[in-house]
Structure 1
Amino acid sequence: MTSETLWYANRATGAVCLVLFTVVVLLGIAVRLRGRLPGLPRFGTVSLHRTLSLSATAFLALHIAVAVIDGYVDITALDVLVPFRSAYQPLWLGLGTVALDLMLAVLVTSLLRERVGHRAWRAVHRLAYASWPVALVHGLGIGTDTGADWMTWLTVACVTAVAAAVGSRLAHSARAARRTPAAVLRTAEGARP
C-alpha cells in the first residue's frame, strides 16, 4: 500500500469512527431512557447498540492500525496506548490515546459484565460520555479534513445530535429526581394510621 492510500484510509476510518461512535452514544442514551427505535422492540435497541459498538471498535482498530503502519509520521504502538508521549503532535494524538484508553475500559468491562457486576460496569460505562468528546477534539485537532465543508457539517451534525440526546437524558434525570421525593412522601403519608 502506498503512503497516499494509507493517508486516505486513515482519514476515511476517522470520519466513519466519528459517525459510528456518535450513533453508539445516541443508542446508549436511548437504551438508558428505555427508548425504542421504530419497528424494534427494546431488546432490539440494546442489541443494535452492542453490535454497532463492536463495529465502531473494529473501525477504530483499523484507524489506529493504518496510522501506525503509515510511514509518513512516526506513531508507535506505545504511542497508541500511552498518552502524550508521541513525537508527532503529542497533544492531539494524546487526546486520541486518552479516548482509546477510556473506550478500552468500557469495552473490557462490557465483555466481563457478568464478572464485574452491574454497579461496577455502569460506573465504568459512563466513561463513554467522556471518551466521545475527547475523541472529537482529537479529530478536530489532528484531522486533515477539519476545515473541509463536508467534515464541518458532519461534525456539527454529530455534536448537535449528541448534545440533544444528552440534554434529553439530563432532563429525564431531573424529572425523575423531582418525582422521587414526592413519591416517597406520598408513600410515607399513605402508611400513616
Structure 2
Amino acid sequence: MTSATLWYANRATGAVSLVLFTLVVVLGIAVRLRGRIPGLPRFGTVSLHRTLSLSATAFLALHIALAVMDSYVNITLTDVLIPFIGDYEPLWLGLGTVALDLLLAVLITSLLRERIGYRTWRALHWLAYASWPVALIHGLGIGTDAGTDWMTWLTITCVATVITAGGIRTATTLLRPAQGAH
C-alpha cells in the first residue's frame, strides 16, 4: 500500500469512527432512558448499541493501525498507548491516545461486567462520555480535513446530535419524579 493510500484510508476511518462513536453515544443515552428505536423492541436498541460499539471499535483499530503503518509520519505502538510522548503532534496525538485509553477501560470493563458487578461497570462506563469529546478534539487538532467544509459540517452534526441527546437525558433526569415520592 502506498503512503497516499494509507493517508486516505486513515482519514476515512477517522471520519467513520467519529460517526459511529457518535451513534454509540446517542444509543447509549437511549438505552439508559429505556428508549427504543421505532420498529425495534427495547432489547433491539441495546443490541444495536453493542453491535455499533464493536463496529466503531473495529474502525478505530483500523484507523490506528493505518496511522502506525504509514511511514510518512512516525507513530509507534508506544505512542498509541502512552499519551503525549510521540514526536509527531504530541498534544493532538496524545489526546487521541487518552481517548483510546478511556475507551479501552470501557471495553475491558464491559467484557468483565459480570465479574466486576453492575455498579462498578456502570461507574466506569461513564468514561465513554469523556472519551468522545477528547477523541473529537484529537480529530480537530490533528486531522488534515478539520478545516474542510465537509468535515466541518460532519463535526457540527455529530456535536449537535450528542448535545441534543445529552440535553434530553439531562432534562428527563431532572423532570423525573423522585423515586418513591407519592
What TM-score, normalized by structure 1, do the two folds share?
0.93
Q: Distance in 2 between matches of 1:155 and 1:132?
A: 12
Q: Distance in 1 between matches of 2:169 and 2:92?
A: 29
How many residues align? The count is 182
Listed as ranges, the gaps of 5+ residues in structure 1 are 187-193
Aligned to 1:190: none
Correspondence 1:27 to 2:11? no
**Runs of 4+ displaced beyond 2 Å:** none
Q: Which is higher, the Rg of structure 1 or of structure 2?
A: 1
Following superposition, the deviation at residue 65 of structure 1 comes to 0.2
Aligned to 1:83: 83
Q: Distance in 2 between matches of 1:168 and 1:125?
A: 19
The 5-angstrom pairing of residues 173-188 of structure 1 reads 173-176=173-176, 179-180=177-178, 183-184=180-181, 186=182
Query: Which amino acid in the other structure matches residue 149 of structure 1?
Result: D
Q: Distance in 1 between matches of 2:86 and 2:168?
A: 38
Correspondence 1:154 to 2:154? yes
Following superposition, the deviation at residue 8 of structure 1 comes to 0.2
Query: Which amino acid in the other structure matches residue 178 of structure 2?
Result: T
Counterpart secondary structure, 2:178: helix
Aligned to 1:135: 135
Q: State the percentage of identical aligned residues.
A: 75
Following superposition, the deviation at residue 46 of structure 1 comes to 0.1
Q: Give CA deviations for 1:160-188 in whole Å, capped at 9, x if unaligned.
A: 00000001111111112xx217x43x3xx
Q: Give CA deviations for 1:38-89 in whole Å, capped at 9, x if unaligned.
A: 0000000000000000000000000000000000001000000000000100
Aligned to 2:15: 15
- Cα RMSD of the aligned pairs, angstroms, is 0.8
Q: Distance in 2 between matches of 1:167 and 1:86?
A: 36
What TM-score, normalized by structure 2, do the two folds share?
0.98
